[in-house]
C-alpha cells in the first residue's frame, strides 16, 4: 500500500478568504491529505493571532475530512518534510505572482529536491483577492461578504472597527 500523498498549503491567512478556501478545496481533491500551515512570522505584523487564524481555518474547512490545520515557524520545506509531505501548494492569482512564486519554488527545490511545488490558479471570482485588500475594505466600513465567510467578516469588523 502506498503512503498517503500529503501536501502543505502554507500562508499567513490573515484572514483566511474564500480564495484560500477555493485552493484548499481543490487541493483536497488532488491529495490524500492537505495540511494548511499558518506561518508564524515575528517580523510581520498580523491582525489575527496564529491561534485565531487556525481557528478560522478549522471552521471553514470543517467539511473537508482530509484537511488539517497546523502552524509553523522557519523554513516551509523543513515543516513539510517533518509532516511527511511531498508537495507545497501555492496559489497563482495574477502574472505578478509568478515571478515571486517561481523564485520561491527554485529556492525550495534547492533546499529540498524531494518536495515539489504545485501551483494552483484560483477560480475566477478570487483572481484579484488578497487578505490585505479585505482588511483595507473593512477598515473603511465596506462589506467583504463576497470574499470571506460571515464569521470571518464579523471578526474583521470587531478587530478593525470595534463593532
DSSP string, 12-53: --SS--HHHHHHHHHHHHHSSEEEEEEE--TTS--SS-HHHH
- What are the phi and psi torsion angles at 18 (to 5°)? -65, -25
Whether 98 contacts 127, CB under 8 Å: no
The pTM (predicted TM-score) of the whole model is: 0.94
Whether 58 sits among the annotated catalytic residues: the reply is no
Whether 44 sits among the annotated catalytic residues: the reply is yes
Among 29, 44, 96, 110, the active-site one is 44
pLDDT for residue 80? 98
Whether 78 sits among the annotated catalytic residues: the reply is no
Q: What does DSSP assign to residue 85?
A: -
Among 53, 90, 131, 155, the active-site one is 131
Among 6, 12, 20, 53, the active-site one is 20
Rounded CA-CA distance 11/77 in Å is 13
Whether 20 sits among the annotated catalytic residues: the reply is yes
For the chain, which domains are there? 6-127 (3.40.50.620)
Q: Is 110 helix (H, G, I), strand (E, B) or coil?
A: helix
pLDDT digits (tens, 9 = 90+) for 14-55: 999 999 999 999 999 999 999 999 999 877 789 999 999 999
pLDDT digits (tens, 9 = 90+) for 94-138: 777 788 889 999 999 999 999 999 999 999 888 888 999 999 999
Among 93, 135, 157, 159, the active-site one is 93
Amino acid at each position: 500500500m502506498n503512503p498517503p500523498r500529503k501536501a502543505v498549503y502554507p500562508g499567513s491567512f490573515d484572514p483566511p478568504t474564500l480564495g484560500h478556501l477555493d485552493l484548499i478545496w481543490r487541493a483536497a481533491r488532488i491529495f490524500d491529505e492537505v495540511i494548511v500551515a499558518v506561518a508564524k512570522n515575528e517580523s510581520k505584523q498580523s491582525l489575527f493571532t496564529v491561534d485565531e487564524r487556525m481557528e478560522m481555518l478549522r471552521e471553514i474547512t470543517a467539511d473537508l475530512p482530509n484537511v488539517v490545520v497546523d502552524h509553523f515557524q522557519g523554513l516551509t520545506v523543513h515543516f513539510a518534510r517533518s509532516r511527511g509531505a511531498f508537495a507545497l501548494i501555492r496559489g497563482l492569482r495574477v502574472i505578478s505572482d509568478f515571478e515571486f512564486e517561481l523564485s520561491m519554488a527554485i529556492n525550495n527545490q534547492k533546499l529540498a529536491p524531494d518536495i515539489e511545488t504545485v501551483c494552483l490558479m484560483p477560480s475566477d471570482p478570487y483572481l484579484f483577492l488578497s487578505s490585505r485588500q479585505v482588511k483595507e475594505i473593512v477598515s473603511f466600513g465596506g462589506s467583504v461578504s463576497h470574499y470571506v465567510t460571515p464569521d470571518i467578516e464579523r471578526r474583521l469588523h470587531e478587530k478593525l472597527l470595534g463593532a
